[in-house]
């Protein structure tokens, strides 16, 4: 598999080149929630006292509710077979007070959030069943480190360009994006004059399908690139409660304020449906549920993963950030069913899946449903109780 963003040894060369180029071109909550120290990737202190049960085969052998339905590789939910074979899209969506409300976030199967410049965060929504969505956005620019997360789902990235140092990756023949600033991509987006620029660029499933055709993109997964064995899911009838872990901790409330000081998002667990409901208190905005402007639904997830990175400046003196997606020595947390366990993670190449492991080295088993992945600086932390 060809690597588009090079490995650790090659990345410093790219950064040096960029530096030379630049030089030449002169919910606030009232509860007292303790911060949880992230475990070392090699720590033994929190080793599970009992290995987790292996997922059974029911998730792939149980009877579908209707003909021509299969389990989604993104959520393990039942979807039409045609949907399961349709390539996802990865849409870059801002998350700040002026960008609210966002439209159709509740339709995303997987939602990433990561820091960008100015202490802000940006979302990348992975949509599996997107072709009939009427309004998606608003849409903003991408950053280099989001791109391998989209690549591992073989998703077409939908964005409004980005910093100049993404251009090399954009030019690679394996990379497929729909860029508002490109000749063909401009037809795939529109501006809503009721919103102020730059938070007024939107798209739809219909427009994106036309862009796929115009760019000659494959509508189905690319077999030579697509990574099919991604998440492992528990059977919906035998969910992963994390009770088999001796180091699981109560996590009915997850607070990301320390890591996301302007977003200040947090999650509250609802034991009636087994989902985490997302709230946020954006700087300049109100504290409350994170609502999809398209249908009024609050964002909610079966799985919440916190993934740590060593985040640095992309260039000296620049606000743009750099993080190495290809790594095997970082850690985080996995939350589901009101509990959490420490995890480690690795990603071996741009198109390979990010794998999450418990502290015994077993790949974690997710529950059926949507997943939120919160990327944070390893110099910050997450609080939960």
In sequence order, what DSSP letters do the residues of 330-359 get, joined into one string? EEEEEEETTEEEEEEEEE-STTSPPEEE-T
Beta pairing partners, 366: 233
Question: Torsion angle of alpha carbons 149, 82, 204, 113, nearest 10°?
Answer: -20
State the residue range of the domain holding 202. Answer: 49-384
- 78: its two tokens: 């039942």
Look-up: residue for tokens 């991509």?
185
Q: How many structural domains is the chain composed of?
A: 1
H helices within the chain, ranges in order?
11-24, 58-61, 81-85, 147-151, 167-171, 205-215
Q: Is 361 helix (H, G, I), strand (E, B) or coil?
A: coil
- 153: its two tokens: 């789902």
Cβ-based neighbour number of residue 239 at 10 Å:
18
Are the beta carbons of 356 and 346 closer than 8 angstroms?
Answer: no
Q: How far apart are the first and last CA of the chain?
A: 42
* Residue 23 resides in a domain: no
Burial of residue 70 (CB within 10 Å: 0-12, 13-18, 19+) is: middle
Beta pairing partners, 254: 267, 384
Q: Is 12 helix (H, G, I), strand (E, B) or coil?
A: helix
Burial of residue 316 (CB within 10 Å: 0-12, 13-18, 19+) is: exposed
pLDDT above 90 coverage of the chain, percent: 78
pLDDT (0 to 100) of residue 197: 94
pLDDT (0 to 100) of residue 35: 53
* Residue 36 resides in a domain: no
- Euclidean distance between CA atoms 144 and 320, whole angstroms: 10
Are the beta carbons of 352 and 220 closer than 8 angstroms?
Answer: no
Task: Give the model confidence (pLDDT) of 336-372 as tens digits.
Answer: 999 999 999 999 999 999 999 999 999 999 999 999 9
- Euclidean distance between CA atoms 299 and 282, whole angstroms: 15
- Euclidean distance between CA atoms 301 and 375, whole angstroms: 16
- 57: its two tokens: 């085969």
* Residue 12 resides in a domain: no
pLDDT (0 to 100) of residue 61: 59
- 317: its two tokens: 């003196």
CATH number at 114 reads 3.50.90.10
* Residue 11 resides in a domain: no
* Residue 164 resides in a domain: yes
pLDDT (0 to 100) of residue 51: 46
Residue numbers in the chain where pLDDT is lower than 70: 1-61, 226-227
* Residue 178 resides in a domain: yes
Task: Give the model confidence (pLDDT) of 104-152 as tens digits.
Answer: 999 999 999 999 999 999 999 999 999 999 999 999 999 999 999 999 9
* Residue 43 resides in a domain: no
Are the beta carbons of 261 and 82 closer than 8 angstroms?
Answer: no
Q: Which of 94, 96, 208 is nearest to 158 (CA)?
A: 208
* Residue 143 resides in a domain: yes
């Amino acid at each position: 598999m060809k690597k588009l963003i090079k490995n650790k040894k090659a990345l410093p060369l790219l950064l040096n080149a960029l530096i030379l180029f630049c030089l030449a071109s002169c919910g606030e909550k009232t509860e007292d929630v303790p911060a949880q120290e992230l475990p070392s990737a090699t720590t033994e202190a929190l080793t599970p006292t009992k290995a987790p049960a292996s997922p059974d085969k029911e998730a792939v052998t149980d009877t579908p509710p209707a003909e021509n339905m299969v389990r989604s590789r993104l959520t393990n939910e039942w979807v039409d077979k045609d949907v399961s074979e349709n390539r996802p899209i990865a849409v870059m969506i801002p998350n700040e007070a002026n960008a609210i409300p966002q439209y159709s976030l509740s339709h995303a199967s997987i939602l990433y959030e990561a820091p960008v410049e100015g202490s802000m965060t940006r979302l990348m929504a992975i949509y599996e069943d997107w072709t009939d969505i009427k309004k998606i956005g608003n849409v903003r620019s991408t950053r280099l480190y989001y791109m391998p997360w989209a690549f591992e789902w073989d998703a077409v990235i939908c964005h409004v360009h980005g910093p100049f140092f993404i251009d090399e990756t954009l030019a690679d023949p394996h990379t497929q994006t729909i860029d508002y600033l490109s000749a063909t991509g401009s037809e795939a987006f529109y501006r809503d004059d009721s919103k102020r620029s730059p938070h007024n660029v939107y798209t739809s499933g219909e427009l994106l399908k036309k862009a796929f055709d115009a760019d000659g993109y494959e509508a189905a997964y690319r077999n030579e690139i697509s990574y099919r064995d991604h998440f492992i899911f528990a059977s919906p009838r035998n969910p992963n409660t994390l009770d088999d872990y001796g180091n699981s901790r109560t996590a009915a409330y997850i607070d990301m304020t320390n890591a996301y000081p302007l977003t200040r998002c947090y999650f509250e667990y609802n034991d009636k449906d087994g989902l985490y409901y997302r709230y946020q208190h954006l700087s300049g905005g109100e504290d409350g549920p994170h609502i999809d402007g398209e249908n009024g639904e609050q964002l909610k997830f079966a799985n919440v993963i916190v993934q740590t990175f060593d985040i640095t400046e992309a260039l000296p003196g620049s606000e743009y950030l750099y993080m190495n997606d290809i790594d095997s020595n970082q850690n985080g947390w996995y939350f589901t069913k009101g509990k959490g366990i420490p995890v480690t993670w690795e990603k071996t190449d741009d198109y390979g899946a990010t794998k999450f492991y418990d502290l015994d080295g077993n790949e974690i088993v997710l529950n059926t449903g949507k997943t939120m992945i919160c990327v944070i600086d390893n110099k910050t932390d997450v609080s939960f109780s």
